[in-house]
Structure 1
Amino acid sequence: MVDCRPVSTPLPTKLILKYIPGSAYERLEHYWQITGALQYLMITCPDLLYAINYLCQHMHSPLQSHYQLLKRVLRYVKGTLSLGLPIQPSSLVLTGFVDLDWATYHIDHHLITGYYTFLDNTLISWTVRKQSSIARSSTEAEYIALSIVACDII
């Protein structure tokens, strides 16, 4: 994989895998080791979260196609070695930012909340998820979002 050609996305944009009998990947420990090592990259490369999560869902019985996807993720990592979230020594100033999507998700009326937390210039936490409760106003929704960030910081 040292001389591999880099790719621009960790997974194909249209991911279609069919189970083909007899196409199980034989070297389970090899798959486990590479996938486990890639999990450490998720700390500084959030663009790998979905791809590595997908590969980890098939740890018990990976197919040859999963191993091909694993190699594709490695090719993506090779092409993006200079990218990532920098972790640098700095002061201990903790800052949190939050944003929410008010009244646009009409199916179940739960709001989408996104937040991230910085320790000076270093990103240490980020999440995007639906709120667990339904707010009756934008002010209430903002209070809920702020409480979620406060709990994460604490």
Structure 2
Amino acid sequence: MTKASCTSTPMVASSQLKKDEGQLLPDAREFQSLVGGLLYVCHTRPDIAFSVNKVAQYMHAPREQHMLAAKRILRYLGGTLDYGLGFVPGKLYISAFSDVDWGGCVDDRRSMSGYYVFVGGSLVTWSAKK
């Protein structure tokens, strides 16, 4: 796959993978190994998580179309090698903030809560609920 052309997206949005369409792969281990590696890559490349999840659903009986979808993810990774999350020991800090107001809404006396989590200086997750 080193000489394969690159793609701009990890998956075609209109494609629908199906469990019974196409020929079964003669050796499922190659597909399973590839998808296992892609699952590991998701730790530093969250942009492929959705696509990898889709192909990982067919690990028990992979077909040709599933292998093509997994190879497309590899072609996307080949064109975006400079993307990703970098973790440097000692430079990474996580900070979280939360707040709760029990029964604070004057109209219906419902509680309100929220939290924010930052990794470095970037907001990575948040929630606000009533």
Deviations 1:61-89 (A, max 9, x none): 01100000011010001011110011112
Report what 1:80 is aligned to: 80
Report what 2:40 is aligned to: 40
Distance verdict in 2 for CA 1:121–1:115, change over 3 Å: closer
TM-aligned CA deviation for residue 33 of structure 1: 0.7
Report what 1:49 is aligned to: 49
TM-aligned CA deviation for residue 25 of structure 1: 1.3
Equivalent pair of 1:44/1:86 in contact (CA under 8 Å): yes
**Bigger proportion of residues as helix:** 1
Deviations 1:103-147 (A, max 9, x none): xxxxxxxxxx996441x4688xx568xx8xxxxxx7xx26xxxxx
Equivalent pair of 2:7/2:75 in contact (CA under 8 Å): yes
Higher gyration radius (CA)? 2
Distance verdict in 2 for CA 1:3–1:90, change over 3 Å: same
* Long gaps (5+) in structure 1: 99-112, 132-137, 143-154
Q: Percent identity, aligned pairs only?
A: 30
Report what 1:89 is aligned to: 89
* 3-state SS in 2 of match to 1:11: coil
* Long gaps (5+) in structure 2: 99-113
Distance verdict in 2 for CA 1:12–1:91, change over 3 Å: closer
CA distance in 2, matches of 1:115, 1:58: 35
**Aligned residue type for 1:75:** R
Paired residues for 1:130-141 under 5 Å: 141=129
* 3-state SS in 2 of match to 1:7: coil
Bigger relative contact order, structure 1 or 2 (CA pairs below 8 A, ≥6 apart): 2
Equivalent pair of 1:86/1:122 in contact (CA under 8 Å): no
TM-aligned CA deviation for residue 17 of structure 1: 3.5
Report what 2:107 is aligned to: none
Report what 1:9 is aligned to: 9
Q: TM (normalized to structure 1)?
A: 0.62
TM-aligned CA deviation for residue 95 of structure 1: 1.3
Equivalent pair of 1:24/1:63 in contact (CA under 8 Å): yes
Report what 1:60 is aligned to: 60
CA distance in 2, matches of 1:89, 1:121: 16
